[in-house]
Chain A
Amino acid sequence: MPVSYIEAIRTGLAEEMRRDERVYLIGEDIGVDGGAFKATQGLIEEFGPQRVIDSPLAEGVIVSSSIGAAMMGMRPVAEIQFVDFITPAMDAITQQAAKLRYRSAGTQTCPLTVRVCYGGGTGGGLYHSQTNTTWFAHEPGLIVVAPATVADAKGMLKASIRQDDPVLYFEHKRLYRTIKEDLPEGNDFIADLFHAAVRREGKDATLVTYGYMLQVALQAAEKVGQETGATIEVIDLRVLNPLDRDTILNSVAKTNRLCILQEDHRTLGIGSEISAIVAEDAFDCLDAPILRVAAPDVPAIPAAEPMEQFYMPNVEKTCAALHKLLQY
């Protein structure tokens, strides 16, 4: 039976909680209400309010209490209802979680997972649509992942919980109920936390993306392929920090053309870093300038549909970039 992305998250959490009693959940409305998107529905019934904690409305202490508990050997999974509201936890994440191991020379660590709901295209407006992955990809000490498939939603969540580092797990709200897959069952199904994945093989151009934009990338690659006969290699980054440079560089060495597709706005985004990596390490491989498809540099995503569509990268914009890249 195919399961949805959000069911994969829910069963991933439940399996880890059954496997390891140190795993507990904390966040706003995650208990009785089962979460804003119902990712944790039913878990308080099975695990009780001690392990599914309806926190006060305070992102700072949601994350920072998890840091302290993780130091003592617990395995907290904190939920940030919308990434737009993660800023009260910014100190906790960037100054505390990211730096605790470093500042104590490895003697104090905080293996915690922060599940972060993100992404636009649902009419959520300025404060329910942001991406902001870049803020955290910029912070050494954090692992930042953005699963784009149902298998990764489950496998990477379970791997994050078991990882001895703070992990930010970005889940796109538009994936929750739009994609389904058959999943292997059982505790042993965990996914790799370190490598990008080639989701579609190709030899004429490389299209790098992550999260919900994988859906857009695959459609654009298919369409451009039909139109031009070119084959586009699609790379799903999966992990935004630390970046898997080799998978990108190997692909560019083969295709000699690179386009990066990101939902986040353009300036100093993931695409900027990937462009720099390729420019530094594979300049000689390039047959065309690197292109980026990204949201415009405006403060956030407007709610009104015309502007939202203008803002969001989509299949059309991506196809246009790919055509340009191939024609250079």
Chain B
Amino acid sequence: MATKVKESAAVATASSKNGGSLISDDKLKQLYATMLKCRLLEEKALGLKKMARFKGNYYAAVGQEAAVVGAAIDLRPEDAVAPSHRDFITNFIKGVPLDAMFSQLYGRVTSPDKGRCAPAHCGYAPLNIITPSSTIAAQLNIGTGIALANKMLKNDNIVVAFSGDGSTSLGFWHEALNFSGVHDLPIVFVCQNNLWAESVPLRLQTKVEDISLKAQAYGFPGITVDGNDVVAMYRVAHEAIQRARNGGGPTLIEAKTYRWYGHSSIDPAKYRAPEEVEEWKAKDPIAAMERYLTQRNLFTPAWKQQMNESFGKELDEAVDFAEKSPQVEPIECLDHVYSFDIRGRELDRKTRTPKYQK
């Protein structure tokens, strides 16, 4: 099996520029708009976090929007997403209502998980987004099982499974890719290589420079993409998704990108050189797309302004909704453990009714 490594993003973008574009103008604009909204959404979340409006920690993907949007924008509701800790925005891209997402941050009764998971760990059953655990890479294996079921059920739904560079060191990561390869499963692995796993740089994570190489060991294509080029990401993901849908098996897409901020909202990220951060900020995927759309006469500042305003309003409304939503009842702690209720079991224990006197 031929394994493509490193299709240059510039080529992907250039070829779409040269007349016969595979990507419609509307799609290009949608890619931009979605990235912009993801950015606004996460900046909003971080702002709320700074003001301590919700508890817990937030893991922002700011700077990585192209990788996530390009991979997830065309998914159908039936397609599954296996998100990692930094993929809160996959929910938005897939169409989860903002009210539900902000309720998740606030852990309110209106959140999809009714206040159980950490703020950024959002799943959504109606759109087949796995509610993530925090175990790095675990979502890949569950996603693999969903892909196995899709194959057994003979439907053409696929799975997009996200992971980071750090996750590739775990056994789980390799078990998932290996199994998916053996069974030609309809799954696309998107590894966002942002060069850091918390404070650990890529060179301490793996000896190879391109993570996409690892796909060779599992017998399916691996491709490295400029993860800050949303058009390149979209083209590559589109092809991988088609392949998966048509029974062609898995693909590993390595998106080289960078997180602008700390690992989480409490991490000042002192371990990175400021120059490195600045260098990557200059490669802002949203600004790059703005330039590209401008070249193609598809962008006006007024359009952006209008989106900033209208989406800003939507965000404010969602925040308001979340803040006004009720807290969960304490006793709900006992719910959803099994398919049957255990409230009675625990409560009897509490009152210790003297049922068994001699």
Contacts and interface: CB of A to CB of B under 8 A. Distances in A.
Interface stretch (A92-100, A225-233, A266-274): A92-100
A71 interface: yes
B150 interface: yes
B2 interface: no
A67 B139 CA distance: 10
Contacts of B114: 105
Nearest to A105: B114
Interface stretch (B20-28, B245-253, B262-270, B333-341): B333-341
A30 to B, nearest CB: 15
A141 interface: yes
A282 B135 CA distance: 40
B183 to A, nearest CB: 8
A253 interface: yes
B141 A104 contact: no
A310 interface: no
Given A74-B152, A249-B355, A95 B145 contact: no
A213 B213 CA distance: 52
Interface in A75-101: 76, 88, 91-92, 95-96, 99-101
A73 B342 CA distance: 24
A249 B337 contact: no
A24 B123 contact: no
Contacts of A65: 141-142, 144-145, 148, 179
A60 B140 CA distance: 11
A111 B340 CA distance: 13
B296 interface: no
Nearest to B172: A60
A164 B339 contact: yes
A105 B355 contact: no
A58 B179 contact: yes
Contacts of B123: 103-104, 108
B315 interface: no
B338 A91 contact: no
Interface string A164-181: 110000000000000000
A108 B144 contact: no
Interface string B148-162: 111011000000000
A24 B337 CA distance: 25
Interface in A149-174: 163-165
Contacts of A104: 112-113, 116, 123, 125, 131, 336
A64 B145 contact: yes
B130 interface: yes
Given A60-B171, A105-B336, A69 B145 contact: yes
Nearest to A282: B356
Nearest to B130: A108
Among A102, A165, A250, A285, the one with the most B-chain Cβ atoms within 10 Å of its Cβ is A102
Nearest to B129: A108
A53 B146 CA distance: 15
A70 B145 contact: yes
A92 B339 contact: no
Contact of B172 (A64, A253, A280): A64
B357 interface: yes
Contact of A165 (B121, B149, B339, B355): B339
B179 A56 contact: yes
B358 interface: yes
Contacts of A164: 339
B117 interface: yes
A284 interface: yes
Contacts of A252: 356
Nearest to A277: B349
A91 B175 CA distance: 13
Interface string A245-286: 000011011001000000000000000000000001110110
Nearest to A64: B141
A130 interface: no
A302 B171 CA distance: 29
A105 B117 CA distance: 10
Interface string B58-94: 0000000000000000000000000000000000000
A96 B138 contact: yes
Interface string A94-122: 01100111111111110100000000000
B203 interface: no
A70 B152 CA distance: 12
Given A65-B141, A65-B179, A106 B335 contact: yes
Contacts of A105: 112-114, 116, 335-336
A95 B138 contact: yes
A23 to B, nearest CB: 11
Given A68-B146, A73-B149, A95 B176 contact: no
Given A103-B116, A109-B339, A64 B133 contact: no
A164 B341 CA distance: 13
Contacts of B144: 61, 64-65, 68
B322 to A, nearest CB: 16
Among B135, B141, B150, B176, the one with the most A-chain Cβ atoms within 10 Å of its Cβ is B141
Nearest to B134: A95
Contacts of B356: 249-250, 252-253, 281-282, 284-285
Given A71-B149, A256-B358, 8 more contacts: A64-B172, A69-B152, A72-B150, A100-B131, A105-B112, A105-B335, A109-B339, A165-B339
22 contacts: A58-B175, A60-B172, A64-B138, A64-B142, A64-B175, A65-B179, A68-B147, A72-B153, A92-B141, A96-B138, A96-B141, A102-B116, A103-B113, A104-B116, A104-B131, A105-B113, A140-B337, A141-B337, A163-B339, A165-B338, A252-B356, A253-B357
Interface of B: 112-114, 116-117, 121, 123, 125, 130-131, 133, 135, 138, 141-150, 152-153, 171-172, 175-176, 178-179, 182, 335-339, 342, 345, 352, 355-358
Of all A-B residue pairs in the complex, the 8 with the closest CB atoms, nearest first, are: A68-B145, A64-B141, A72-B149, A65-B145, A107-B125, A164-B339, A105-B114, A61-B175
